[in-house]
Amino acid sequence: MDINLNNYLENMKKPWGILFYKVVWKQLSGIRNCNVLDFGSGFGFTANHLAENNNVTAIEPNLEMIENRICKNSYKQIHGDIEKLKEEKDNSFDFIVCHNVLEYVEERKDIFDEFYRVLKPNGILSIVKHNHAGRIMQKVVFENNVDEAMNLLNGGEINVYSFGKVNYYNIDDIRRWIGNNMVIEEIRGVRTFWGLQQNNEIKSEKSWQDKMFEIEMKVCDIDEYIKVSFFNHIFLRKHDN
């Protein structure tokens, strides 16, 4: 496996990666007995988790990730990108997840059009995205990297792991891409305080993790904290036709 992908996989298994998934999965806890699509499924963490109680189809373009994916629960894995998405039938899925994917693709409007097409009426789309303000907060507070923070504030670029440049987008961009096809129902924060804690040793303590998870869940629905969280979790609903 490519060393950058290997580092990414190992990081997702560390306390900070575990907390990310713990919060996101808690926010997705209502999904049961659904047809679910995970677009850009990566190493399959969320696809595998949701497959415990749902029928899951996962699409991922990176073959190395697929070969090293988590698959303790059974789900359908497809190697491909938007072209494979286009092969799915209309109104096929109750729920779609697309987490930390749209920052690294160009055809975002086309992908949203396909999500709308394959979602059932009243179906839900879950988008997790990098939050620009949250990244700047982490650069200043956790990394003490004022130069990179200033670069981001001035419209500069940043690269993440092996995925390349992060193309940030905001809620207004999403509204433009979905048009009248879907409505944004809810926006939640993910990892508001965790990424600002400079003591990495304490992050391995179970009692501290439990308390941090509790406070993260407490503030994830409060607007002031959503604006500075490292990730935003956006829920959209397809109109009932």
* 156 domain-assigned: no
- The domain tally of the chain equals 1
The Cα 133–Cα 137 span in angstroms is 6
* 144 domain-assigned: no
Q: What pTM was estimated for this model as a whole? A: 0.93
Q: What is the pLDDT of residue 9?
A: 66
* 146 domain-assigned: no
CATH number at residue 181: 3.40.50.150
Residues β-bridged to residue 78: 59
Q: What is the pLDDT of residue 4?
A: 66
Nearest of 57, 43, 49, 58 to residue 29 by alpha carbon? 49
Q: Considering the chain, what percentage of its residues have pLDDT values greater than 70?
A: 93
Mean pLDDT, range 116-128, rounded to an integer: 97
β-strand 159-160 against 93-99: which pairing, if any? Answer: unpaired
Range of the domain at 54: 3-131+165-238
* 39 domain-assigned: yes
* 158 domain-assigned: no
* 27 domain-assigned: yes
pLDDT tens for 181-232 read 999 999 999 999 988 888 888 988 999 999 999 999 999 999 999 999 999 9
